[in-house]
Amino acid sequence: MSLSFSRLAAALLVLLLTASVAWAPPLGLGVGGDNEWSENAKTPFRIKLSGVINTQPEEQTLQAGEQSLGVVTLRVGTFNETYQFEIVTAEALDNPQVSAGMILQKVHKYGVDFELTGPKDLLSKVGQAEPGTPLTLIGSYLQYNRTLVLQNVETIGTREQ
């Protein structure tokens, strides 16, 4: 009798485990991980932000034909500095379905819109750029904590040139 009870208990355990696996959400679809561009996503995705550094909203820094997506605050924690950055374009490099609005959905919800990290030489390019300098920032972006890990920073001189 104890042998059949053991078999019954083992079968019941297998049945319960199978049922719990069948009802579990698919991997990657847990809280905040349903897609890479959701506001709380913890999966980084590569973005490209182009614009003008150290601008003020009242300044006319854009050239003819350019339209601003807004002025954001960048912080380079390594240098304990913040910068204003007028964004002209924002795009996800590996997923064209991700719009600029999806990338910028947390803008102005916090005092700092993008926390910049990465190699010091790239952070220095941002920190040493003269006001009005066009910059392109490329890196891996984590929506949930607004961190942009820089992979490349391109400067194109100043607007007066």
Q: Domain spans of the chain?
A: 45-155
The pLDDT tens digits of the residues spanning 109-122 come to 999 999 999 999 99
Structure tokens at 8: 């019954």
Whether residue 153 contacts residue 135, with contact meaning beta carbons closer than 8 Å, is answered with yes
pLDDT at position 78 is 85
Q: Identify the helix (H) or strand (E) that includes residue 101.
A: helix 100-103
97 class by beta-carbon count within 10 Å (0-12 exposed, 13-18 middle, 19+ buried): exposed
Query: DSSP of 131-150, one letter per residue?
Result: TT-EEEEEEEEEGGGTEEEE
Q: Residue 117: CB partners within 8 Å, gap ≥ 6? A: 77, 78, 123, 147, 148, 149, 150
In this predicted structure, the answer to whether residue 99 has a pLDDT above a threshold of 70 is yes
Tell me what the mean pLDDT of segment 143-151 comes to: 94
The pLDDT tens digits of the residues spanning 20-67 come to 444 444 444 444 445 555 666 688 999 999 999 986 555 555 555 678
pLDDT at position 159 is 45
Tell me what the mean pLDDT of segment 83-111 comes to: 92
pLDDT at position 120 is 96
Whether residue 80 contacts residue 115, with contact meaning beta carbons closer than 8 Å, is answered with no
Confidence of residue 157 (pLDDT cuts 50, 70, 90): low
Confidence of residue 77 (pLDDT cuts 50, 70, 90): confident
Most distant CA pair in the chain: distance in Å? 92
The reported pTM is 0.71
Q: What SS3 state is found at 77?
A: coil
| SS3 of the chain: helix, strand, coil, percent, to 5 | 25, 30, 45
pLDDT at position 158 is 47
